[in-house]
Amino acid sequence: MINLVMIILILLSMSISLYFFFVSKRYHRETADNEDPQKYTIPALIEYVKDCLNEITRTNLFELGLNEVEFKKQTNKRAELKKALKVCMHGSIVDKQFVKAFIYDILHAYIPNEKINSIIPFNNPYLLSTKDKFSILIHMLRKEHGANALSHLIETFELDKLKKNENEEYCYYISGQEIDNIYDNMEFILTKEDRLEVITQTVYEQYKGLGAIDEIRDMNIDGVSAGVSGVTGDFFEFSDFREQMNRKIRYQRNYESIWIFYKGKSIKLDFLGFESESELKRVCQIIYRYNRGGQLSETTGYRVNEMKDGSRILVVRPPFSESWAFFVRKFYIKNVTLEMLIRDQNAYLPVNLIKYIVKGGMITAVTGQQGSGKTTMLMAMVEHIYATLNLRIQEMAFELNLRKLYPGRNILSFRETETITGQMGLDIQKKTDGSVNILGEVATDPVAAWMIQMSQVASLFTLFTHHAKTTRDLVYSLRNSLLKCEMFNNEKIAEQQVVSVLDFDIHLARDYEGKRYIERITEIVELPDIPLPHDFIYKKDPGEKSASFMETTAEYYKKMTDKKIFECRNIIEFRNGQYIVVNPVTKYRIEKMKSAMTRKDAQQFDKFLFKHFGPGIEVNV
């Protein structure tokens, strides 16, 4: 009887246990089935991260009951996080990594291992978007190549070659198909940490970062821009839009266009873009705000500023421009030298001549089109200015960053602000102890006029950049600036002032394929002033005196109208892929350059001239 009771109790216990087991399994299964499918998506993760960071930065620490040491630690940590959240999008790599580390820790604790692939399908390449593949490629390459990851990708797979687009036009672009092929052929293993870091970057760039260009901006490229191609929303209001839709023509929107500037080439990233107009607008409104960049409004439709890493940023908006757009220009080259920039055959000719031009204290213009490398050339030329000379720089926005390249030099840079104009800044420079004045860009008439004055009286010599196409255009442009500023009212006198100041013009060029080179180095030679004939004074016969006076009068008017007061002598030119000597430097300028050099440099200059210019150096104009 006892055994029967025991058996019944055991069976009853087993039945109860099985019941609770199955009920529990059913509960967990129903819970999993009822789980919000949007819980582990990028938008949901952004909201979760936002809530967590808000809680961290807003929690009342006094309510946590911390001891004094822990309280100070948490206070400092929170203050650092608040600061990083404000400036991480302004080009500060350190603050960006700090914020991403916080986001990574939050997501690591929140996302189960089995849900990582449901956020981004890392385990199924067929479901990955081209943008996701590009993000993974950049992440994996960055582990080995750092900020050169994008450059390595472009160089390795020759993505910067001319290609035909869908309109049968040759242009530079990187297609989505190319990225897909590269991803499919790459052999790498994504760890859990790698996947979580890619997700972290995706969350960060849409929450606090710069959207689709966030990682690209940090790469070692020449620049990046967005909103500069594609059609705006107004296009779809045209009457023929329905006809285009019926023909199933898909137009790329303006917010879907992203371009990079790489080694002188504008390359379109055809697979990458912002998700909406509002996202592009958000990035435009935050990217320029480093160090209180001012207010971007309908009244002030553009802003020029620099980012924390020295990049120049220009943002434009309607109604000033047809759409929201921005341009980031980067100057990432470290320890740039003339030898690095000038590499064609006989490159030693322009390299050495430029060195002696700088050492000789010549007032020199670096001219060329946009993207030809004027600013970078100016940075390299500064290396050869004697270290005993103090440098004063005037720019529209800080671009040269010479103190980073030459921290031991006496260098101070100024820039324009809303209340301090360029000419005011140049006037202030005269009150400093500067020996060499460098102008990042002579872009306005007042600055051009002040540059001429400063070169005459306020500094040992001046270096500046200009967008002139020829040396003659450079002289005429500066002359016209003097006239517009009403410093002169006579063209010839204004022109003579410009010619008496300028010594050399280094003109840079960039061909169709993006190759950069020095097109020519030109000496600006002031021609001697030939006095007017005055024979009529000594004529006795009235008829002869009158005729001679008329000849003098004719010469006077000819001199005031058609007189040639300068000539442009090309010293070195780039022809057929190599640099060649065309004309010698004038004897007067050689002596002037040698007088500003050290004895050793003057001797080396003589040897250079004798070897490459020969007896022609004695030519004097």
String of DSSP letters for 281-320? HHHHHHHT-TT------SSS-EEEEE-TTS-EEEEE-TTT
pLDDT at 359: 94
pLDDT higher than threshold 50 for residue 317: yes
pLDDT at 530: 60
pLDDT digits (tens, 9 = 90+) for 497-555: 899 999 999 999 988 777 889 999 999 998 776 666 666 666 667 777 777 777 777 76
pLDDT digits (tens, 9 = 90+) for 43-83: 999 999 999 998 888 877 776 777 778 888 888 888 898 89
The span from the CA of 50 to the CA of 207, in Å, is 8
pLDDT digits (tens, 9 = 90+) for 579-592: 999 999 999 999 99
pLDDT digits (tens, 9 = 90+) for 7-21: 777 777 777 766 655
> How far out from the chain centre does Cα 78 lie?
33
Distances in Å between the Cα of 66 and the Cα atoms of 53, 54, 62, 76, 77 are 20, 20, 7, 14, 14
210-227: average pLDDT = 92
pLDDT digits (tens, 9 = 90+) for 126-176: 899 999 999 999 999 999 999 999 999 999 999 988 888 877 778 899 999
Tracing tokens 């600061």 back to the chain, one arrives at 83
pLDDT at 571: 95
pLDDT higher than threshold 80 for residue 179: yes
pLDDT at 451: 81
pLDDT digits (tens, 9 = 90+) for 569-619: 999 999 998 999 999 999 999 999 999 999 999 999 999 999 988 754 443
Residue type, 604: Q
Share of the chain above pLDDT 90, in %: 44
Residue type, 324: W
pLDDT at 244: 55
The closest alpha carbon to 353, from 597, 521, 516, belongs to 521
Distances in Å between the Cα of 56 and the Cα atoms of 50, 81, 95 are 10, 9, 17
pLDDT digits (tens, 9 = 90+) for 330-360: 876 567 889 988 989 999 999 999 999 999 9
Q: Which of 139-148, 292-301, 328-337, 423-432 has the highest mean pLDDT?
A: 139-148
Higher-confidence position of 130 and 446: 130
pLDDT at 591: 93
Q: For 238-242, 402-406, 427-431, which range has the lowest pLDDT when averaged over its residues? A: 238-242
> How far out from the chain centre does Cα 59 lie?
40
SS (H, E, C) 485-498: CCCCCCHHHHHHHH
Higher-confidence position of 290 and 457: 290
The closest alpha carbon to 362, from 393, 340, 385, belongs to 385
pLDDT at 540: 67
Helix (H) or strand (E) holding 132: helix 130-145
pLDDT at 414: 85
Q: What is the mean pLDDT of the chain?
A: 84
pLDDT higher than threshold 50 for residue 620: no
The span from the CA of 349 to the CA of 585, in Å, is 13
pLDDT at 450: 79
The closest alpha carbon to 186, from 223, 227, 220, 156, belongs to 156
Q: Are 508 and 373 in contact (CB under 8 A)?
A: yes
Q: For 26-40, 164-178, 381-395, 533-547, which range has the lowest pLDDT when averaged over its residues? A: 26-40
pLDDT at 131: 94
Beta strand pairing call for 566-575 and 578-581: antiparallel
Q: For 12-21, 73-82, 84-93, 190-199, which range has the lowest pLDDT when averaged over its residues? A: 12-21
> How far out from the chain centre does Cα 569 lie?
33
- At 198, is the pLDDT very low, low, confident or very high (cuts 50, 70, 90)? very high
Q: CA angle, corner 28, sides to 26 and 32, nearest 5?
A: 115
Q: For 272-281, 436-445, 552-561, which range has the lowest pLDDT when averaged over its residues? A: 552-561
User: What pairs with residue 308 in β-bridges?
Assistant: none
Helix axes 587-596, 348-359, angle to 10 degrees: 60
Q: For 34-43, 268-277, 473-482, which range has the lowest pLDDT when averaged over its residues? A: 34-43
Number of C-beta neighbours around residue 58 at 10 A: 9
Q: Are 328 and 225 in contact (CB under 8 A)?
A: yes
- At 621, is the pLDDT very low, low, confident or very high (cuts 50, 70, 90)? very low
SS3 state at 577: coil
Q: For 194-198, 282-286, 430-434, 591-595, which range has the lowest pLDDT when averaged over its residues? A: 430-434
38-42: average pLDDT = 85
- At 191, is the pLDDT very low, low, confident or very high (cuts 50, 70, 90)? very high
Q: What's the DSSP call for residue 614?
A: G
- At 26, is the pLDDT very low, low, confident or very high (cuts 50, 70, 90)? very low
pLDDT higher than threshold 50 for residue 29: no
Taken in order 611, 614, 615, 618, the sign of the CA dihedral is negative
Token pair belonging to 577? 């892929």
pLDDT digits (tens, 9 = 90+) for 484-508: 888 888 888 888 889 999 999 999 9
411-425: average pLDDT = 78
